[in-house]
A = this chain, B = another copy of it.
């Protein structure tokens, strides 16, 4: 049978995050492992993968943990997302020639790309 979960120290070892940071990352809701009956964190393959890609995300683009946390908030709090979108929408994007319609087209294309993975699939 598979001992498919790692303890926090083992997870720290294989992901490069410190145990302290694994707890912190959990506290801001980014990677939340299951718990054993006694309350021990159990890191599965999925968690480990996301911890590694999280590190890449922070390195590649210049993003902070709190900012990813905010992106998550945008994802889960629809009213917040709408309010922010509305405010940004009303901005006259200084650089040349980016009309509202123009931007909407690109925005739409982007989401089509993302959603297409599911909507275009088998029914």
Contact = CB atoms under 8 A, between A and B. Distances in A.
A90 B119 CA distance: 17
Interface string A31-56: 11000000000000010011001100
Interface residues of A, number: 47
Contact of A53 (B49, B53, B68, B87): B87
Contacts of A79: 61
Contact of A70 (B70, B77, B78, B91): B70
A104 B118 contact: yes
Interface string A71-89: 1101101111111110111
Interface in A85-121: 85, 87-92, 94, 100-101, 104, 106-108, 110-111, 114-115, 118-119
Interface of A: 30-32, 46, 49-50, 53-54, 57, 60-61, 63, 67-68, 70-72, 74-75, 77-85, 87-92, 94, 100-101, 104, 106-108, 110-111, 114-115, 118-119
